[in-house]
Amino acid sequence: MEKKEVKLLGLWSSPFVARVIWALKLKGIEYEYIEEKDLMQNKSPLLLESNPVSKMVPVLIHGGKPICESLNILEYIDEVWSDNRLLPEDPYEKAIVRFWAKFAEEKLAESARTILTSEGEELENEVKQFEEALDILEKEIKDNIKKFFGGETIGYLDLVLGWSGLWLEIIEELSCGKKISSDTHRYPTFNRWIEDVNDVNIIKENLPSKDQLSTYLLYIRNLALAYKAKN
């Protein structure tokens, strides 16, 4: 295949961008990383042109053509660079993996976003829903996965959920001041799994620093709470 240039528009603190970086590195794909330096106030012309619909990162640009939405990007990467498959080839298994990816995005990622940006009753209700979703995930991991969702090696769902170590730890500390997901009594298998994921070199070496991320997420939390208080 003709080698086309690969670019990634990203943001250092984004878990959605991190999963794409992990996939590119796991596959050994060379790419140029372009940080969206002022994503909230002043999006770059390249981002606006590449993702005019949601104007969000990550965007992968392959041979000049943009691909948006992180899960879509992971699937694209897996199809184009088909060595070291991330998704199973069997259609049934692939459908199951996609089901859990959707569950993870809707029930965990969205919930974590709400937990970060809420307080009081809203926060309490969201935490309950989040814990219930984690109960379901804990059971799935316990019953159906080996070391990783991908088997003995890391795969698509591990990348999709890989943010849940560092990002959740910080979000829970900032918003709730207590352990939720890292409760090893309620979620023993989840915690064993996330430890294994964080132990993979490509993941470990491509995580933001905890201090920097905490400072940034606290800033986002305070902005969101101030906005809610005004409106």
Ligand X SMILES: N[C@@H](CCC(=O)N[C@@H](CS)C(=O)NCC(=O)O)C(=O)O
Total residues in contact with ligand X, by rule CB under 6 A: 11
As a whole number of Å, the end-to-end CA separation of the chain is 53
Segment interacting with ligand X (CB under 6 A) among 24-32, 69-77, 133-141, 163-171: 69-77
Among 22, 67, 69, 170, binds ligand X (CB under 6 A): 69
Q: Which of residues 146-165 bind ligand X (CB under 6 A)?
A: none
Looking at residues 6 to 65 of the shown chain, list those that interact with ligand X (rule: CB under 6 A): 11, 14, 16, 39, 55-58
CB nearer ligand X, residue 71 or residue 141? 71
Kindly give, in sequence order, each residue whose CB lies less than 8 Å from that of residue 174, ignoring residues fewer than 6 positions away.
116, 214, 217, 218, 221
Q: What is the CA radius of gyration of the chain?
A: 18
Give the residue with the Cβ less far from ligand X, 58 or 88: 58
As given in the structure block, the two tokens for residue 12 are 């250092």
- Residue 162's nearest CA partner among 36, 27, 15 is 15
Nearer to ligand X, 11 or 180 (CB): 11
The nearest distance, CB 36 to ligand X, in angstroms, is: 7
Residue 159 half-sphere exposure toward CB, CA atoms < 13 A:
32
- Give the start-end residues of each E strand in the chain: 6-10, 32-35, 59-62, 65-68
Q: Kindly tell me which of 189 and 206 has the beta carbon lying closer to ligand X.
A: 206
Please check whether residue 167 is in contact with residue 214, taking contact to mean a CB–CB distance below 8 angstroms. no
Structural contact between residues 58 and 17, judged by C-beta atoms closer than 8 angstroms: yes
Nearer to ligand X, 104 or 203 (CB): 104
* Binding residue for ligand X, selected from 70, 111, 181, 191, defined by CB under 6 A: 70
Where on the chain is the footprint of ligand X (CB under 6 A)? 11, 14, 16, 39, 55-58, 69-71
